[in-house]
Structure 1
Amino acid sequence: MTGRDCARGLAVLAAAPLLGVVPLVGAAGGAQADGPGPSGHGGHHGGKGKGQKGDHGHKGKGKGKGKGQGRPAPHAKPVKHKKKARSVRLHTSGPGRTVLPGRTYDWPFAVTAKGPARTGRAVFRATLPKALEFVSGRRDCAVSGWTVECDLGAVRPGETVAGMIRAKVARRARPDEALRMPATVTWRGVRDAEDFPVARVARTADLVMVKTAPATARSGAPISYELKVRNRGPATAEDVFVHASGPVRLLTGNAACIPETRGFVCGVGSLRPGETRTLRLKVLPAGNVRSGKVLAYRSRVTSSTTDLNPGNDSATVRTRITAKKSTPKKGAPKKSPVKKGHAAQAGGKKHAPKRPHAGTPQSKRAGAK
């Protein structure tokens, strides 16, 4: 420190009591006060971030708030755990792609509950199409109109409850009609919906066989048969065939017939609902069908279309075989017809001649003798 600087310092210390200013002693032993310095610039201020230029034009670093200093470390926000939302899931199944009129089928379903650990009541509902008739249901099911409601009871979270609807396909159901059944389930205020798989009404028919034959036929003579095939519907019967079985041989017919192992088969084609086809056949019994025997001749009708009533698809007729008609041999004399009176006299008792009455020429000659 130079002498000038020392003198300046002593002067300041001497004037300090008079001015009421507390002298500040710097790191170098010099006194510094707050406020503008000799050059008109502010001095060093503690508590501020970056120091300003001092007397020598250098920036000083303050002990106050700087970068990364003086501020408390930010606290991490607590992570809020979201509550698991409750939900319910409906699963449905069906009897298959096609169903038959008049038959009864099952439509199963299952309900799965998810959510917080709390039990709730579950209710299942389904709407039946008009072609289905409600029969019964599992899990306390009842029907009102076309709506089926099943009370599944209390269901715990994570639990799966199974149920089922049993319904009958109406006989009036149209062929190829689509059976759609929407369904819903509710559990603790949440809801899920899912339709049952679509099932279609199968194409069906009701074929009826009627067969007629003579009651008797002579041995070795052909026999004529008449077969009538009728389709009662409701759909068209496709690929219709008539199968005939028996110890006979086909002679003629008005259909395309081919022989089988025991009999023959005749193609009919397709029959629309209400249509009737008539087949007329002439057959010859086998040689072992002799007189006195009864010939049983059975026929049945088949189709690629499902028949709802197979009990009337066949018919059996019986014909008694009689002896052949006798014919006279060539050259043999014909017997003359015999009158009843002569036959009676020839084979009966001989009657005595009647006595002549009195007065007749015969009686007079008898008396003369």
Structure 2
Amino acid sequence: MTGRVGARRLAVLAAVPLLGVVPPVGAAARADGPGPSGHKGEHGPQGKGKGQGHKGKGKGRARPAPHRKPVKQQKKARSVRLHTSGPGQAVLPGRTYDWPFAVTAKGPGKAGRAVVRATLPKSLEFVSGRRDCAVSGWTVECDLGAVRPGETVAGTIRAKVARRARPGEALRIPATATWRGQRAAASFPVVRVARTADLVLEKTAPATARAGAPISYRLKVANRGPAAAENVFVHASGPVRLLVGNAACVPEQRGFVCGVGSLRPGETRTLRFKVLPAGNVRTGRVLVYGSRVTSSTIDPHPGNNSATVRTRMTAKKGPAKKGPVKKSPVKKGHAEQAGGKKHAPKQAQAGAPQSKRAAQK
């Protein structure tokens, strides 16, 4: 069987040129001459046909992928950041406040020295600082020491608001931070000087008063500034009842309150009124009567906003009693002479001229 099959295959191959049958693709690839695309092929196991990996001039060849250079990983740049904070409210002249800050370092490498510099306005006086701070003129310099990459170091600048600071003045503090050649600028939050008014209350009253009788009081309210005092009121408390006054006063739980209005810096207002002590304030007791002044404007010195007076109650003045009338002593002779003349009988008096006539006769 094997010999017959081989003989048939040889017969078929021999008849191929005569029948015009196209030889198999594999056989054509091995032969010299035009290839399937019309170009000459090359001797060898591989030709220049379509889809081959070697270079050729035929259309539809696959181009090799372009060569890409490996991307180098970029190094992280060094940087520094400055964080600032402030009191968060209006500041009062003469008071001391803190301005906190923090420095954050970023980047590769070793630790480096970090420094913070801040410029204070003339209305702030440097007091102290945390993290080795010193002042030169109006510039404060804080040395934070060696700071490692990724580390955050905090500090504080403490300063006092000058008494000469103007009400409503805005306090601005610019600052910078440096670390390993890097620099960052930031300003502390703007804070304003509060509008303040120093109110002073003075009160006068008599040292003694009769129980049950009205007592006169005088109140003087003064504003020492530096700003105007708004919505000023005087509150009086004590066991008394208001009788008359020259201000708008209304009763309170234990006394009354009088509206004063607004006071400009250096202005003074005087209140005069009379009160009647309560019935339990009897003779011999001391009437304690206090007052205080308030305002919607901040008063940095509340110690002089109150005044208290004391009045001792004395006995009531009763009606004057009439004493016995004392007669002056009279001499006896004079009394008899006066009495003889006054009480002489009419007959004797009438007879006196008769006797005189008789004598004349």
Aligned to 1:335: 324
Q: Aligned residue pairs: how many?
A: 288
Secondary structure class of the residue paired with 1:307: coil
Paired with 2:216 and 2:295, the residues of 1 have a C-alpha distance of: 25
Deviations 1:88-143 (A, max 9, x none): 01111111131111111111111100001321111100111111111100100000
The Cα of 1:73 is off from its aligned counterpart by 6.5
Distance change (3 Å), C-alpha of 1:231 and 1:338: farther
Does 2:152 match 1:172? no
Who is 1:133 aligned against? 125
Are 1:292 and 2:272 matched, yes or no?
no
- Assess if the C-alpha contact under 8 Å between 2:80 and 2:104 holds in 1: yes
Task: Report the counterpart of residue 308 of structure 1 in structure 2.
Answer: 300
Rounded to whole Å, the distance in 2 between the matches of 1:65 and 1:171 is 98
Residues 216 and 77 (structure 1), Cα distance of their counterparts in 2 relative to 1, 3 Å cut: same
In the TM superposition, what is the alpha-carbon distance from 1:59 to its structure 2 partner? Answer: 3.6
Q: Which of 71, 81, 96 does residue 79 from structure 1 map onto?
A: 71
Q: Which ranges in structure 2 are unaligned for 5 or more consecutive residues?
A: 1-29, 56-62, 330-361
Query: Where in structure 1 are there 5+ consecutive unaligned residues?
Result: 1-26, 31-43, 45-50, 342-369
1:93 equivalent to 2:85? Answer yes
- Structure 2 match to 1:354: none
Tell me how far apart the structure 2 counterparts of residues 105 and 28 of structure 1 sit (CA, whole Å): 100
CA drift of 1:338 comes to 8.3
Q: Is the partner of 1:98 in helix, strand or coil?
A: coil
Aligned to 2:343: none
Per the normalisation by structure 2, the TM-score is 0.74
What is aligned with 2:98?
106
TM-score (structure 1 length as normaliser): 0.72
Aligned counterparts, 1:141-160, within 5 A? 141-160=133-152
Identity level (%): 77
The Cα shift of 1:65 comes to: 12
1:24-62 CA distances to partner (integer Å, 9 max, x unpaired)?
Answer: xxx8799xxxxxxxxxxxxx9xxxxxx9x9xxxx54356
1:264 paired with 2:249, answer no
Note if 1:210 corresponds to 2:202.
yes
Is this contact kept in 2: 1:182–1:195, CA < 8 A?
yes
In the TM superposition, what is the alpha-carbon distance from 1:76 to its structure 2 partner?
A: 2.3
- Among candidates 42, 45, 54, match of residue 69 of structure 1: 54
Is 1:246 matched up with 2:235? no
Q: Residue 37 of structure 1 aligns with which residue?
A: none
1:248-292 Cα shifts (integer Å, max 9, x gaps): 110000111111121111111111111101000111111111222
In structure 2, how many angstroms separate the alpha carbons of the residues matched to 1:326 and 1:76?
Answer: 123
Question: Which residue is 1:60 aligned to?
Answer: 40
